[in-house]
Each structure stands twice: as C-alpha cells, then as structure tokens.
Amino acid sequence: MLVVQKYGGTSVGSLERIQNVANKVAKNKDENKDLVVVVSAMSGETNKLIDYAHYFSKNPSPREMDLLLSSGERVTAALLAIALNEMGYKAIALTGRQAGITTDTTHTYARIKEIKTDRIKKEIEDGNIVIVAGFQGINDKGEITTLGRGGSDLSAVALAGALSADACEIYSDVDGVYTTDPRIEPKAKKLDFISYDEMLELSSLGAKVLQNRSVELAKKMGVKIIAKSTFSDNEGTIIADKKEGEDMEELLVSGVALDKNQARVSLRGVTDRPGIAAEIFEKLAQKNINVDMIIQNASKDGKTNLGFTIPQNQLLEAKKVIESFDHDLEGSDYDEWVAKVSVVGVGMKSHSGVAAVAFKALADNNINIEMISTSEIKISMIIDEKFGELAVRLLHEAYGLDK
Ligand code: ASP
Ligand code: MG
C-alpha cells in the first residue's frame, strides 16, 4: 500500500513538531506502508522569506524569489529525514527537481506539467521513506519554480496521482471539513465525506482547508484526499467523487459559507443598448476585477438598472471604471457592507424547493435578500453584512446540519 502524506506549516512549525511528525511517519512505516511524505515550510517561514526580499526591493525578480522561497520546504524535508534516520528508519529527502516534478516557466505561480516518478520509485524499492520538499519544481530551462501559495497541497496531490497512490492524506491543524465555520456556529459538524465540487465551492467561499488548485487537480486525476489533523487521531474528511443518488440518505446540503469580502455596485438609468453590458464587464475584466453576481432589471423607457458584486478590495478600481461610463448612466452607488451567504450541496441537483427553504429562513427573521444567484449545487444570497453570522446560523439550522 502506497500512501502520500502531506504535513502543513503548523504541523512542522517547530523542531518538536517535526519530531512529532517523524513519530507519526515511523508508525505508518511500521504498518508496512510505502510512504511519500510532502512537507511545507515551517509556519511563518515563507512569509519571513518574502519580508527579507522586500527589505531590499519592492519588486524582487521572480526567478530569485523562487530560489529563495523553495528553501523553506527544503529545510523541513531535510530535518524530517534526519530525524527519521536517527530513529533507525531509512529515509531520503528530495527537492522538487530530484522528485521529478517539472513545471511550466511561470515563476512564483508555476503549473505542474509532468512528474517523472523513476527516482521516487527507486528510492521506495530501496526501502526508503521518501520525503519531498513541497511547493516546488523545475522548469525545462533548469530553473527552480514554486507553485503559488499553499502549493504543497498541490505537490502532494500531483504525486499521489502520478504514483497511483492508494491515498493522499493532507495533515493540518484542523481535523477536517465542517458544515460551516465553528467559530460562527458552534454546532457545526465535521463532515465524513464531501465531493470535489462541493469542496471547491466551499473553499472559494472561505473554508480554507485545502488549496483550491489541489482540489481541482484531485478531481481531474481522481485522487481521493483525506483531510486530517496532525494533532489528533480523529477520522478526518474524505474528499472524493460523489455519485448522485448513490446514498439515499445523502445530505441535501453539505455546508453553509459566509464571505464578507463583498461589495455591491448599483448602476441606475443605464442606456439600454446592445453592447453596453459587454463594454462595462469587459473593462472590469481588463482591470482583473472579479465580478460575481449580476442582476439586470427589465428596462423601461430605454433605461435599465444593473447591479453586481465584486471583492471589497477592488472597489476603488471598479469605481474608476464605472466613472468612465458617466455618459451612459444616470447614477451609481456602492455598498461595502454586504455579505454573501451560500448554501452548497450536490443533493440540490435532484430535489426541488431547496432554495425556498433558505429564502424562508431569512425572511422569517426579517433579513432582506438583495441579490440571489444559483448554480446546480449552490445558492448564494447577498445580504446586509451585519446579519452575516446570524444568517449562517439560521441556514445551518434550516437544513438540519446541526443534527
Ligand atoms: N510554504 C508555502 C506557503 O506558505 C507553501 C505551502 O505551505 O503549501 O504558501
Ligand atoms: Mg497550507
């Protein structure tokens, strides 16, 4: 049985904690598992290295940044191998290049192209526990690249896929994926299982357990992920494919997420002519402004109203774009104090009336819904930010997630 394990920054955040990981890895080896262990940099280390670079320059060269940042993971990998050797276990630490991870040429945000697994396979055959420095690879010019923040998750999933591992266990300081943020709703429950698609919706909404790209890759390669805590023996949450209707008692809804980093833009009296929406949204896109929900009202006397949401921190930039359309609208206003609550669940696909439950739960408590958008597995609602937490608790209860 081949298992890929990944230990995040907090799990290896001190020398004692690296020893603790070494003990866990050793225990797994004693159970006769073949192991590839991917490690992050010690917590805070990557940020510290970035600060170091910014001491000298506002715009450090991306090539040098990759060389710098990749060192954090190498330190942990080498230390873990040294600790395991000292305990009498055969272990070898590899950089991304030595592990055969090749990427494209984009520095600081590279994509993995291919993993040449011969070296890792040979080391496993020789009886080694293979420790791999996460978050990095090499491009075809022989330059070191890194995979973007949180990229060690991606390294682990890619390795698990390339090696056809039996499992990919991602260890962090939380013991899995919850029905909602337990700090908002203490009755939140840990999920035994969540599908890739639900996980992608929940993480883009702020439930940061796994790096998004790693979930996308896991879905593409069919890698089953188990998210677990390093500091407990709890079961964790399995992230895999869920076939519709497979489980008769499947939850209609898996989770409720809150995103307060939202702002609403409302445009009044927009000239209703073909192409106006294209012009506005093209210009916003050129400025890399992420438009989320869009509402256009039926037009009256050649004028229409248009509303949409964007990330709060892009509001200034968006205002500038809107000002350039002055001649095409009567007025605009902006509201930073909105939040998006979303209800996510694959069970929605095959059931009707799921959205009505959400609308009623909010209406019964006098929370006004300003905008709505839906997909096959998600209902999102824009509301006044001050009701965000309350709405999460109401929806959590309305769908029986506390049971
Ligand atoms: N050390 C990198 C970061 O902090 C990669 C990772 O931890 O996954 O983003
Ligand atoms: Mg991480």
C-beta separation of 7 from 170 below 8 A: no
Q: Band of the pLDDT at 298, cuts 50, 70, 90?
A: confident
* Cα 132 to ligand 1 centre (Å): 13
Q: Hey, is 302 helix, strand or coil?
A: coil
Helix axes 45-56, 62-86, angle to 10 degrees: 150
pLDDT digits (tens, 9 = 90+) for 349-359: 888 889 999 99
pLDDT by residue (tens digit) across 133-142? 999 999 999 9
For 72-131, the DSSP string reads HHHHHHHHHHHHHHHTT--EEEE-TTTTTEEE-S-TTSPPEEEE--HHHHHHHHTTPEEE
Contact assessment for residue 203 and residue 209, using Cβ atoms and an 8 Å cutoff: yes
pLDDT digits (tens, 9 = 90+) for 173-208: 988 999 999 899 999 999 999 999 999 988 765 556
Q: How far apart are the first and last CA of the chain?
A: 36
In whole angstroms, give the CA distance from residue 364 to residue 397: 13
40 lines ligand 1 (CB under 6 A): yes
The confidence score (pLDDT) of residue 251 equals: 67
pLDDT in tens, 245-254: 555 456 689 9
Beta-carbon neighbours within 5 Å of ion ligand 2: 8, 150
What does the alpha-carbon distance between residue 106 and residue 123 come to, in Å, rounded to a whole number? 29
Query: Does the beta carbon of 172 sit less than 6 angstroms from any atom of ligand 1?
Result: no
- The whole-number pLDDT of residue 221 equals 96
Q: CA-CA distance, 212 to 150, in Å (whole number)?
A: 9
Output the pLDDT for position 207.
54
CA distances from 134 to 221, 252, 395 (A): 19, 36, 38
Task: Determine whether the shortest distance from the Cβ of 171 to ligand 1 is under 6 A.
Answer: no
Average pLDDT (379-402) is 96
Least confident window among 16-20, 128-132, 326-330: 326-330
| 320 exposure class (CB count in 10 Å sphere: 0-12, 13-18, 19+) | exposed
Q: What is the separation of C-alpha 358 from the centre of its chain, rounded to a whole number of angstroms?
A: 25
Q: Mean pLDDT, to the nearest integer, of 257-281?
A: 93
Give yes or no for residue 135 CB within 6 A of ligand 1.
yes
What structural domains and CATH numbers belong to the chain?
A: 2-173 (3.40.1160.10), 255-398 (3.30.2130.10)
- Mean pLDDT, range 77-105, rounded to an integer: 98
Give me ligand 2 centre to Cα 45, in Å.
12
Which of 11, 37, 46, 69 is the best mutation target for the ligand 1 pocket, counting ligand atoms within 8 Å of the beta carbon and taking the most? 46
pLDDT tens column, 201-247:
887 655 568 988 999 999 999 999 999 999 999 999 999 987 555 55
Is residue 383 within 8 Å of 367, Cβ to Cβ?
yes
**How far does the centroid of ligand 1 lie from the alpha carbon of residue 46, in Å?**
6
